[in-house]
């Protein structure tokens, strides 16, 4: 941050959070604004996997306004990324990765994308990555059981709808924990992106068609 504050997070892609520490906040409990499409049950998961993974990150951003300028460094085993931008963009980048790599059964469909994460992706890059990842998933499903590939992306559109539901209800969790606006804005932005892709995927695909035809 420009005021000298530094936040550092390490996200283990292979983490497992079925066992939850006792000091996590109440808003991470599974039945606190639980998503209506969540198949998890309290007998097996006492807490929301995404909530447990994200709460320390959100805590660090609790007193940071989304418009604050920051320097963001992202280090992976393969390369490093840097961007001078606002706090909201940085929070969205790490929260998006954490959500997609969590044990949430709805968001785990994006785990392959998360493994090849691209921080600060543009809308065109997101469309390319989401659709390419989905088609690769369809290929593996087809190879396993002979199911025809979904070349109309109907299943992907349904994923977007499921993701919208998760984002909306996770935002309700965050409302109970946030004092500044960064945490609220970042989830609202994620919700908007999934909604846009759900409603106008064909239009976004048309915009990048010239690169492949």
Closest Cα to residue 191, out of 155, 149, 150, 160?
160
Is the pLDDT at 207 greater than 50, yes or no?
Answer: yes
The answer to whether position 126 is within a domain reads yes
Is the pLDDT at 32 greater than 50, yes or no?
Answer: yes
The answer to whether position 192 is within a domain reads yes
The answer to whether position 28 is within a domain reads no
The answer to whether position 11 is within a domain reads no
pLDDT, tens digit, for every residue of 6-24?
999 999 888 876 566 667 8
- What per-residue confidence (pLDDT) applies to 136? 95
pTM for this prediction: 0.82
Number of domains in the chain: 1
Is the pLDDT at 34 greater than 50, yes or no?
Answer: yes
Give the domain range for residue 157.
Answer: 48-211
The answer to whether position 30 is within a domain reads no
Is the pLDDT at 179 greater than 60, yes or no?
Answer: no
- What per-residue confidence (pLDDT) applies to 191? 64
Residue 178 φ then ψ, to 5°: -110, 135
The answer to whether position 59 is within a domain reads yes
Rounded CA separation 130/66 (Å) = 26
The answer to whether position 189 is within a domain reads yes
Q: What average pLDDT does range 71-79 have in this prediction?
A: 93
The answer to whether position 34 is within a domain reads no
What share of the chain in percent tops pLDDT 70? 87
Is the pLDDT at 120 greater than 70, yes or no?
Answer: yes
């Amino acid at each position: 941050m420009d005021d000298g504050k530094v936040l550092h997070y390490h996200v283990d892609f292979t983490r497992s959070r079925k066992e939850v520490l006792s000091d996590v906040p109440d808003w991470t409990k599974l039945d606190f604004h639980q998503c209506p499409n969540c198949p998890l049950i309290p007998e097996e998961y006492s807490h929301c996997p995404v909530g447990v993974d994200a709460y320390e990150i959100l805590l660090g951003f609790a007193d940071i306004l989304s418009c604050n300028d920051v320097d963001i460094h992202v280090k992976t085993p393969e390369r490093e990324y840097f961007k001078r931008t606002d706090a909201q963009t940085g929070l969205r980048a790490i929260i998006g990765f954490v959500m997609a790599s969590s044990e949430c059964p709805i968001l785990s469909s994006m785990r392959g994308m998360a493994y090849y994460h691209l921080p600060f992706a543009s809308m065109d890059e997101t469309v390319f990555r989401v659709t390419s990842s989905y088609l690769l998933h369809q290929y593996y499903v087809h190879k396993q059981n002979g199911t025809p590939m979904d070349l109309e992306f109907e299943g992907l559109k349904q994923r977007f709808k499921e993701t919208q539901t998760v984002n909306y209800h996770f935002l309700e969790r965050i409302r109970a924990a946030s004092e500044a606006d960064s945490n609220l804005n970042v989830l609202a932005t994620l919700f908007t992106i999934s909604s846009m892709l759900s409603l106008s995927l064909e239009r976004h695909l048309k915009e990048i068609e010239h690169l492949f035809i």
